[in-house]
Structure formats: C-alpha cells, structure tokens
Amino acid sequence: MKEAEQKLQKLYRELEIKVAQRTMELLASKHLADIGTLAATVAHELRNPLGVINVAAYNLRKKARDPGLIKHISSIEKKVAEGSQIINNLLVYSRMKMPQFGKNDIYSLLSECAEAVKKHFGGRKIRLKKLLQPLKGMNVDADALQLREIFTNLITNAYQAIEDNRGVVEVSGSVKSGNGIAISIKDTGTGINKEDMANIFKPFFTRKTKGTGLGLVICRDLINMHNGAIEVKSAPGKGSTFTVTIPIRRDK
C-alpha cells in the first residue's frame, strides 16, 4: 500500500513538472507570436517609405553640386541605413522559427562568430580573448543559424559596452557535468546597473541610439527553445558576463 502511494506521489511530481514545463513553453510561444506580429507589421510598413527616401536621396546626390547640400544628403543616407538595420532586427525576430536541430562543431562556430564581430568593430582597439579549447571536438545538437544569432548578439553587445578605445572581450567555453556546455561572454565595458538589469530582457528596452532592444529578447527565446539558460552578472563600471548553458544532446 505504502509502495503504491509512493509510486503515485512520484508520478504526480513528474506530472507537475511536465505541466510546468509545458506552460512555460506555451507562455514563451504566445509572447513570441504577439511581438513577432507587431515587429513584422512595423517592419513591413517602414520598409517602403525608407526605400523611397533612399531613391530620392540618390537622385538628389546625382544632381547636387553644393557641398553643404551633399552633406545633408549623406546624413539622410546614413539615417536610412540605420533605419534599415533596425528593420532587419525586427524581421529576424518576427521570423523566428522552431529550431532545426543538427550537429554543430561548437568550437568552430564560436570562433567564427567572435572573429566576425571583431572584424565588424575593426577600427577599435578591443582585445578579443578566445578560451574555447575545452569545447574542441564537441558536437552540440542545435540549430546552427540560431546559435550564430545568439552568440553574434551577445558578442556584439560586449563590444558595444566598451565605450573607450581599450578593453577586453573574452569568449570562453567549458563542459559541464552531465549533458551541458557553458559559454561565457565577458566584457570590460560599462556594466549594467541594478535598475536596467530588471529590464534588459524586455522587448524594445535599449540604452543605445541605434538599438532595437530586441537582441537579448531574441537570445533568451532561442536559448529557451534549446532547453538552455542564460545568466548575467555585472558590475557597473567594470563589465558584464553573460553565460549561456545549453544541452549537448537533446534526449536528456
């Protein structure tokens, strides 16, 4: 009798965990759908007018001789390019799909992401440290494009957090006991104050003039879809560390 009761209790606990997990998944997908629709609508509505402005600026530039006027046209073109970038971010977000799982050489993937971001910020004297040796030869079951999206976003944030021309961005990896790896992106940038910390994963929260405030939202949703987790530690004025843990295999 006691044994049966214990068994029942165990089953009950398992069921509770399953219900909680499924609820979380549903909440995440609902949230995703709402913001996705909004983002897609805004992006779509903005794309055409921006295109028209761009063509008009191009035609004006062809005719313009006055250096003062050319300067104004350049600033229109620059702002149009910035606007287009924001639209791209919105579209990435709205088109977010369930992961297509496959084997990923995580060592190479992270090295490539880090080098690509470094190249993008080429003009700045920021040292990139890669401590990825522990991940060498490991294959992670995940969506390749989504992994790239996650780490490109986090490494880009790290570079952007460094305001002066000196600083270090460190990308490190380790294997956890059981079925997981941890990847940390550490910067010696501005850090995040307590108040902002409560907001950084909220859609459209940004402290940047050219930010959409969707980077971390995208990261968190993609990581959740991989059954992973993201954690932040930050010391204002000193820097931040974002740590992502993801399972190596899906079946555990």
Ligand X SMILES: Nc1ncnc2c1ncn2[C@@H]1O[C@H](COP(=O)(O)OP(=O)(O)OP(=O)(O)O)[C@@H](O)[C@H]1O
The nearer residue to ligand X, 180 or 213, going by C-beta atoms, is 213
Task: Choose between 94 and 157: whose C-beta lies nearer to Mg ion.
Answer: 157
Q: Interface with Mg ion by CB under 5 A: which range of 79-87, 176-184, 193-201, 209-217?
A: 209-217
215 binds Mg ion (CB under 5 A): yes
Q: Cβ(226)–Cβ(146) under 8 Å? A: yes
Query: Residue 83 Cβ, how far from Mg ion at the closest point, in Å?
Result: 17
Tell me the residue number closest to ligand X, measured at CB.
Answer: 215
* Complex with ligand X: residue 174 or 206, whichever CB lies closer: 206
Task: Write down the least CB distance from residue 67 to Mg ion, Å.
Answer: 36
User: Is the Cα dihedral 128, 131, 133, 139 positive or negative?
Assistant: negative
Minimum gap (Å) between residue 52 Cβ and Mg ion: 28
Q: What is the identity of the amino acid at 219?
A: C
Q: Is residue 213 a contact point for Mg ion (CB under 5 A)?
A: no
Q: Are strands 167-176 and 126-131 parallel, antiparallel or unpaired?
A: parallel
Instruction: Count CA within 13 A, CB hemisphere, residue 105.
Output: 6
Residues in the chain: 252
Residue nearest to Mg ion (CB): 215
Q: Between residues 215 and 239, which has the closer beta carbon with respect to Mg ion? A: 215
Nearest to 207 by CA among 234, 244, 168, 172: 234
CB of residue 161 vs ligand X: minimum separation in angstroms? 3
Note whether 188 binds Mg ion by CB under 5 A.
Answer: no
Task: Say whether 47 sits in a helix, a strand or coil.
Answer: helix
Helix (H, G, I), strand (E, B) or coil at 188: coil
Q: How far apart are CA 21 and CA 130, in angstroms?
A: 34
Given a contact cutoff of 8 angstroms between Cβ atoms, the answer to whether 161 and 200 are in contact is: no
Q: Which two tokens stand for residue 183?
A: 């990847």
Q: Considering the complex, what minimum distance in angstroms separates the CB of residue 168 from ligand X?
A: 12
Q: For the segment 24-83, give every residue that binds Mg ion (CB under 5 A).
A: none
Q: Which of 89, 104, 157, 184 binds Mg ion (CB under 5 A)?
A: 157
Q: Which of 90, 145, 147, 152 is nearest to 121 (CA)?
A: 152
Which residues share a beta bridge with 126? 167
Q: Interface residues with ligand X (CB under 6 A)?
A: 89, 153, 157-158, 161, 187, 189-190, 192, 196, 200, 205-208, 211-217, 240
Minimal distance, residue 133 CB to ligand X, in Å: 23
Cβ nearer to ligand X, comparing 173 with 247: 173
Contact residues: Mg ion, CB under 5 A: 157, 215
